[in-house]
């Protein structure tokens, strides 16, 4: 999914309602959302936005991001982009769940407290199951346990509370499956052995991904703004290379680039650098990697195989979705393993249709949402239509 944060608009910027309803003149800011809820609790200081993009396949499931946004407008834009991405992610993962996302405005290291999380939980509860939350950047399993004291519509809780625990585990596993499929498509073998893989961001998901890559025989190069995150990886895998920043990583003559931090990593400049220094695959865990529409075509034109982010990073949502019916790790892992097959299918469809993989993935997700939502026209005895 594209994440338009820095591109200059060709028309006057749409207002808040235009961004929500998707009725901007150039159509660049989205295709409309079902519901957006602004949540404010003065006593705890909570300021949050819950965005429900689609319930075509079922209740909207997506994590809660706790982040110190530069402005409330930036928080809204992120919530809208992320929730739309969740609709496509859940559709491609084969889940009977729609797409939603929430953001809490603030610094999780300074502002987060029990009262704020519980107030947020009450807002989630007020939606009566239209939105189910989980972890994301800035929120953790223990936070979900606190939120769950006020709402039943929360996943990603601790195993002690009947939950799935850290969803980063299967997120990383799913990205690795997508990367194996990319290797199969590019080199004819589903392995990264002997390949040079750069991981930008080794926090929640990235450090697990490094473990899979090292075990598979890859040479791994990493970078992260957090020295603690880098040191944790080096302690576990002293053989990894470390570079100063993402710019240095892009120039490190990688075979595979894995953006695993925040969105917008694939810009015109970064794609040009990847092409110049010989990178042939992009496959990572970050959401909304494409900085603006057209980047997916630029990648394809440069011969870089792009594995759509919302396809390969769906292991986490597969994990927390399994919690809804009583969590079983092996069952969830088996579902996440299928990301390998779905990724290959997307590459095959893209080649057959002559389009970039991101376009093929969009089409497949939209097809499933369209076909399944149409079943609501079949009236069940004793049920209301719709």
pLDDT at residue 380 above 90? no
- pLDDT tens-digit series, residues 315-336: 999 999 999 989 999 999 999 9
Q: Taking residues 132-156, report their average pLDDT.
A: 96
Q: What is the arithmetic mean of pLDDT over 7-17?
A: 50
Catalytic residues: 101
Compute the distance between CA of residue 49 and CA of residue 80 in angstroms, rounded to an integer: 9
* Structure tokens that stand for 197 in this block: 């893989």
pLDDT at residue 21, rounded to an integer? 80
Kindly tell me if the per-residue pLDDT of 219 is higher than 80. Answer: yes
Least confident window among 43-52, 138-147, 375-384: 375-384
The pLDDT assigned to 23 comes to 60
pLDDT at 153 exceeding the cut of 60:
yes
Return the pLDDT at 262. Answer: 80
Query: Among candidates 204, 225, 259, 264, which has minimal Cα distance to 78?
Result: 264
Per the structure block, which two tokens stand in for 89? 């992610």
3-state secondary structure of 49: strand
Half-sphere exposure of 274 (CA within 13 A, CB side): 30
How far CA 34 is from CA of 40, 99, 135, 365, in Å, comes to 20, 10, 22, 18
* pLDDT, tens digit (0-9, with 9 covering 90-100), for 102-116: 999 999 999 999 999
Annotation: CATH topology of 168-315+339-364: Rossmann fold (3.40.50)
DSSP string, 318-373: HHHHHHTT---HHHHHHHHHTHHHHHHHHHHHHHHHTS-HHHHHHHHHHHHHHHHH
- Is residue 173 scored above 80 in pLDDT? yes
3-state percent breakdown (helix, strand, coil) of the chain, nearest 5? 45, 15, 40
62, pLDDT greater than 70: yes
What pLDDT does residue 30 have? 46
The CATH code belonging to domain 16-161 is: 3.40.50.10860
Say how far apart CA 32 and CA 29 lie, in whole Å.
9
Asked if the domains at 16-161 and 168-315+339-364 fall in one CATH topology, the answer is yes
Per-residue pLDDT at 14: 60
User: What residue segments make up the domains of the chain, in order of their start?
Assistant: 16-161, 168-315+339-364
Indicate the pLDDT class of residue 384, thresholds 50, 70 and 90: low
Longest dimension (CA), the chain: 63
* Per-residue pLDDT tens over the stretch 288-319: 999 999 999 999 999 999 999 999 999 999 99
At residue 27, does pLDDT exceed 70?
A: no
Mean predicted lDDT score pLDDT of the chain = 92
Q: What is the pLDDT of residue 139?
A: 95
At residue 65 the predicted structure's pLDDT band, cuts being 50, 70 and 90, is very high
Whether residue 377 has pLDDT greater than 90:
no
Residue 185 CA to residue 179 CA, distance in Å, equals: 10
Taking CA atoms, 282 is separated from 88, 131, 252, in Å, by 19, 31, 14
The pLDDT of residue 157? 95
């Amino acid at each position: 999914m594209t994440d338009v944060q820095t591109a200059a608009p060709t028309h006057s910027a749409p207002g808040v309602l235009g961004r929500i309803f998707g009725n901007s003149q150039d159509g660049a800011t989205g295709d409309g959302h079902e519901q957006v809820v602004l949540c404010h609790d003065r006593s705890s200081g909570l300021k949050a936005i819950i965005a429900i993009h689609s319930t075509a396949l079922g209740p909207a499931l997506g994590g809660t991001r706790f982040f110190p946004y530069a402005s409330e407008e930036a928080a809204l834009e992120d919530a809208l982009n992320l929730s739309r991405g969740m609709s496509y992610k859940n559709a491609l993962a084969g889940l009977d769940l729609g797409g939603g996302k929430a953001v809490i405005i603030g610094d999780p290291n300074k502002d987060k407290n029990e009262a704020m999380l519980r107030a947020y939980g009450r807002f989630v509860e007020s939606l009566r199951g239209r939105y189910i939350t989980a972890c994301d950047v800035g929120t953790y399993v223990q936070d979900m346990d606190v939120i769950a004291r006020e709402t039943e519509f929360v996943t990603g809780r601790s195993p002690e509370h009947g939950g799935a625990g850290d969803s980063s585990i299967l997120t990383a596993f799913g990205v690795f499956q997508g990367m194996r499929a990319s290797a199969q498509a590019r080199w004819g073998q589903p392995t990264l052995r002997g390949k040079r893989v750069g991981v930008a961001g080794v926090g929640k998901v990235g450090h697990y991904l490094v473990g899979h890559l090292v075990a598979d025989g890859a040479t791994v190069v990493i970078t992260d703004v957090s020295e603690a995150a880098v040191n944790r990886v080096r302690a576990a895998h002293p053989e990894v290379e470390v570079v100063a920043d993402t710019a240095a990583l892009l120039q490190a003559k990688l075979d595979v680039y894995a953006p695993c931090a925040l969105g917008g990593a694939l810009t015109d400049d970064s794609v040009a650098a990847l092409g110049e220094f010989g990178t042939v695959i992009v496959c990572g865990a970050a959401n909304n990697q494409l900085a603006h529409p057209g980047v997916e075509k630029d990648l394809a034109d440069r011969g870089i195989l792009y594995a759509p982010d919302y396809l390969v990073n769906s292991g986490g949502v597969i994990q927390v979705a399994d919690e809804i019916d009583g969590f079983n790790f092996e069952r969830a892992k088996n579902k996440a393993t299928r990301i390998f097959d779905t990724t290959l299918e997307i590459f095959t469809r893209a080649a057959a249709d002559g389009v970039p993989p991101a376009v093929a993935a969009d089409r497949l997700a939209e097809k499933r949402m369209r076909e399944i939502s149409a079943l609501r026209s079949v009236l069940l005895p004793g049920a209301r239509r719709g």
